[in-house]
Structure 1
Amino acid sequence: MTLLDITPRTVDDDRLASLPVAIIGGGPIGLAAAANLVERGIDFVVFEAGDEVAASVRAWGHTRLFSPWRHLVDPAARRLLEARGWEHPDSDRAPLGCELVDDYLAPLAALEQLAPRIRYGVEVIGVAREGMDRTRTRGRAGVPFVVRLRDRGGSVDEVTARAVIDASGTYTSPNPLTSSGLELLGMTEIADRVTDALPDVLGRDRERFAGRHTTVVGAGHSAANTLLALVELAREVPGTSVTWLIRNAQAARLSSSEDDELADRARLGNRVDRAVAEGAIAVLDRFEIIRARRAGGAVELIGHRRGDVVTHTTEVVVNATGFRPNLDMLREIRLELDEIVEAPRRLAPLIDPNVHSCGTVEPHGFRELTHPEPGFFIVGMKSYGRAPTFLLATGYEQVRSVTAWLAGDTASAADVKLTLPATGVCSTDVGNGGGCCS
């Protein structure tokens, strides 16, 4: 492995010093980065693809988090808010996603120190060094970053930055339905019958599921939330039914153990277990999807099951298979990623889902997040790559360390701490940069 120079670089060039830090993503971690930069006196600009703050969180806003408020507010953000009279919500209550936005993130984004520096409705489609592709080395660290943007109207523009913090999350880049990780054969035929993870089954998306047979694909907590909502809908609307399709013999990620470090998470698992035992949820296990096709008003999922090729017929499919980082925009950035989970190489051993749960991930900061591209960092859920164990509190400590490094405060940047009780705070497979959903 090539050793990296992670010594803070003094910016001598007047132009480079005058440029802001670019933050990609206006969710919990992106705004926390902004709050820390405010306290450090470093200029910044936030690029949010949605039309409002934390648009991805708002998309699953009907879902309640496992973790209580005391683990969901960034310390720097709290200081800025409380200086303007904001009151912290009940520390022991777990909010809905929409409450996280309305009661914390929206007020934070509206602060005078942040509001003028947030641009909404702009998608970052590329990051590079000005005048340099990834192959050029000489003088690279002293050249500004170029961030290419596309707005809602399709117009493309570029801005320059002294550093880039990618907090764009993974919610908008779900895993495919196939076990191979490749795009599902026949997906274009059935695309209008496939829904992303955590649809609002009992609210805005009710008509899509009422009176239909829905198959939920995935073995994690976002799948469990949807399954239970569909069971409730089936009680209200005749003809509504639900199948749970998993590739293994059981849903290993869905805990119902009394020893679970999050009691609400265990209760979620218990509720799903009861619904299965009562016949409210039909389980189709050991099914590996390889192809799909349209059959009139139905969808056929073809796959391998116990050595045979079988077909499962349904009407609606919910893709709750987890998420992966979108790396397309970073093709010209020098990254050092783990070949398995696609997380920064130094971070990957600390978050390996085969070894760690959300409560056992060690605190980490700028050192573990450093890439061969000086001044570029991936933080938040995206920093975990395909690992589903992200903690909001961990993301806050990530950006505190990174912004300290950008300010030249190496002592603070290296002093990484994370104080959590054994119950922890995690986001499981929701991939939204938030806490666990229940």
Structure 2
Amino acid sequence: MSDLPVVVIGAGPQGLAAAAHLRERGLEPLVLESGDRPGAAVAEWGHVRLFSEWSELVDPAAARLLEPTGWEAPTSGYPTGAEWVEEYLAPLAKALGEKVRYDARVTGVSRKGRDRLVDADRGEQSFTVHLATAAGHETRIEARAVIDASGTWRKPNPAGADGLPALGEAANADLITYSVPDSQAPGRYAGKHTVLLGAGASSLNAIIELDRIAQAHPGTTITWVLRRGTTANTYGGGEADQLPQRGALGLRARAAVEAGRIQVVTGFRTARIRRASDGATDRAVVVSEDGRELAPADSVVVLTGFRPDLSFLSELRLDLDPTLEAPRKIAADIDPNIHSCGSVQATGARDLAHAQEPNLYLVGMKSYGRAPTFLAMTGYEQVRSIVAMLAGDVEAAERIELVLPDTGVCGGSGLYDDPEAASAGGCCGPAAPALLSIGGSASVEASSCGTSSGGCG
């Protein structure tokens, strides 16, 4: 299979970085992107400013590929999604040239001549990648390895607290959106009532954007709905966050709430969204599982997280955690049910491998399944390790080259979404120093507050 390409699904940050590493290692990449441009998903939230600095958003191998073209790496500041695409992802895709194919939607991945049931010589067969173009043309590509960097953007979680669409969610889709509002395009929200469902960084960004609209347009009202019974930890780690702009998101959202511009409703688990009409205007009424109803809203913004699309991998034997839908070996370190610490370990090729499907890897946001704590630099470390493994450089693949920043949030080891029930254990207690082995040769002293089965990982 040495003459076959390594197929990379998705021309986002991790997909293009994987292609750059493959080129550098002398392996043949082929990036398949369903959109019509690099970073197509990022472009859809282009108005949102990232909380990672430029230095954390550029992959080293990608930078080395770009340098001979005259490209200069941005050195400081926090780009928006649109700036990330324009100043980095688009030039990187251009440098990769014909190795990136657009309007190529992957519809299935399997093994040549082997469906999911067949054991015989399974791992020795090439992958078959089925794809469809925007024009409807279907084709099949053989690959020596597959790196799925397709992300989770196309699969937002629904409004329903049970993980399924709330009753009426589909029927009232015209009143619902699943993306962060843009204060530069306020028409849908200005002078109107918006209900925001969800917590996390996306919701904090939404609060900031909606608050800007409210301050510029009198009559704008915002109701922020949380399933949690308290706002504890909702605002993140603040000044304790090792990524300052991530901490600043929470501080700004808290200020808007404390100023009275945002109404917060806690302990609300959505069951239904029904339409209310006064004859001239249709509005959405959000109803909880215990029967409470919110005031009619002109728009409902649902930012309850994302989940991976595993449908086109259904003929492969994935080794996934049944809760998170993430690779089993990393699930305990990122599962918010086990701990709510701010930091997790970097993950590499061995962590992301699927025992019965050698040379298949899920990377980037998709590798975290439904967990919300992914950072771009995590994905860059993943693809560096994976490509080293594909190239046969096991030592480099197993070396850890990344220390992730802490969020400054510590909620104990309790039930996710129920901070009141959190114990004092997990990552909150004092920890004794422990030796952390890096790359099997060097060791450093680190503060370890748990094992992979609990605590901080």
TM-score by length of 2: 0.84
Quote the residue 2:331 is aligned against: 348
Opposite residue 195 of structure 1, the aligned amino acid is: T
The CA deviation string for residues 203-222 of structure 1, in whole angstroms up to 9 with x for no partner, is: 3xx22222321111111121
Correspondence for 1:185 among 158, 161, 167? 167
Seen in structure 2, the aligned counterparts of structure 1 residues 356 and 363 have a Cα distance that, compared at 3 Å, is farther
Unaligned ranges ≥5, structure 1:
1-15, 425-438
Seen in structure 2, the aligned counterparts of structure 1 residues 354 and 93 have a Cα distance that, compared at 3 Å, is farther
Instruction: Find the aligned partners of 1:394 and 1:139 in 2 and give their Cα distance.
Output: 33
Instruction: Find the aligned partners of 1:346 and 1:58 in 2 and give their Cα distance.
Output: 32
Answer yes or no: is the 8 Å Cα contact 1:358–1:391 preserved in 2: no
Instruction: Find the aligned partners of 1:64 and 1:269 in 2 and give their Cα distance.
Output: 14
Q: Aligned runs of 1:409-420 on 2, under 5 Å?
A: 409-419=393-403
Instruction: Find the aligned partners of 1:304 and 1:52 in 2 and give their Cα distance.
Output: 42
Seen in structure 2, the aligned counterparts of structure 1 residues 419 and 284 have a Cα distance that, compared at 3 Å, is closer
The CA deviation string for residues 345-384 of structure 1, in whole angstroms up to 9 with x for no partner, is: 0111222234566862112211000002111100111001
Compute the displacement of 1:125 (Å): 1.6
Opposite residue 273 of structure 2, the aligned amino acid is: A
The percent of aligned pairs where both chains have the same amino acid is 48
1:237 is the counterpart of 2:237: no
The CA deviation string for residues 227-286 of structure 1, in whole angstroms up to 9 with x for no partner, is: 221121122223322111111123434225432323222322222222112221111221
How many residues in Structure 1 have an aligned counterpart in Structure 2?
Answer: 402
1:93 is the counterpart of 2:77: yes
1:393 is the counterpart of 2:377: yes
Quote the residue 1:317 is aligned against: 300
The CA deviation string for residues 382-435 of structure 1, in whole angstroms up to 9 with x for no partner, is: 0011111112112111111111111122222122321456679xxxxxxxxxxx
Seen in structure 2, the aligned counterparts of structure 1 residues 133 and 68 have a Cα distance that, compared at 3 Å, is same
Answer yes or no: is the 8 Å Cα contact 2:235–2:253 preserved in 1: no
1:227 is the counterpart of 2:207: yes
Compute the displacement of 1:312 (Å): 4.2
Compute the displacement of 1:189 (Å): 1.6
Seen in structure 2, the aligned counterparts of structure 1 residues 103 and 137 have a Cα distance that, compared at 3 Å, is same
Instruction: Find the aligned partners of 2:345 and 2:331 in 1 and give their Cα distance.
Output: 11
Quote the residue 1:404 is aligned against: 388
Opposite residue 404 of structure 1, the aligned amino acid is: A
Q: Aligned runs of 1:143-158 on 2, under 5 Å?
A: 143-158=125-140
Correspondence for 1:215 among 175, 192, 195? 195
1:280 is the counterpart of 2:265: no
Instruction: Find the aligned partners of 1:151 and 1:34 in 2 and give their Cα distance.
Output: 21
The CA deviation string for residues 47-84 of structure 1, in whole angstroms up to 9 with x for no partner, is: 11111101111111111111111111111101111122
Quote the residue 2:315 is aligned against: 332
Seen in structure 2, the aligned counterparts of structure 1 residues 423 and 189 have a Cα distance that, compared at 3 Å, is closer
Compute the displacement of 1:202 (Å): 2.1
Answer yes or no: is the 8 Å Cα contact 2:109–2:129 preserved in 1: yes
Seen in structure 2, the aligned counterparts of structure 1 residues 220 and 118 have a Cα distance that, compared at 3 Å, is same
Opposite residue 207 of structure 2, the aligned amino acid is: L
Seen in structure 2, the aligned counterparts of structure 1 residues 22 and 357 have a Cα distance that, compared at 3 Å, is farther
Correspondence for 2:158 among 173, 176, 190? 176
Unaligned ranges ≥5, structure 2:
409-457
Instruction: Find the aligned partners of 2:72 and 2:29 in 1 and give their Cα distance.
Output: 26
Seen in structure 2, the aligned counterparts of structure 1 residues 400 and 256 have a Cα distance that, compared at 3 Å, is closer
Quote the residue 2:411 is aligned against: none
Answer yes or no: is the 8 Å Cα contact 1:299–1:315 preserved in 2: yes
Please say which of residues 373-382 and 220-229 is displaced more in the overlay. 220-229
Q: Aligned runs of 1:242-257 on 2, under 5 Å?
A: 242-251=222-231, 252-255=233-236, 257=238
TM-score by length of 1: 0.87
Question: Quick one: higher RCO (CA 8 Å, sep 6+), 1 or 2?
Answer: 1
Seen in structure 2, the aligned counterparts of structure 1 residues 423 and 236 have a Cα distance that, compared at 3 Å, is closer
Quote the residue 1:301 is aligned against: 286
Compute the displacement of 1:88 (Å): 1.3
Secondary structure of the corresponding residue to residue 235 of structure 2: coil
Quote the residue 2:64 is aligned against: 79
Compute the displacement of 1:333 (Å): 0.7
Answer yes or no: is the 8 Å Cα contact 1:23–1:167 preserved in 2: yes
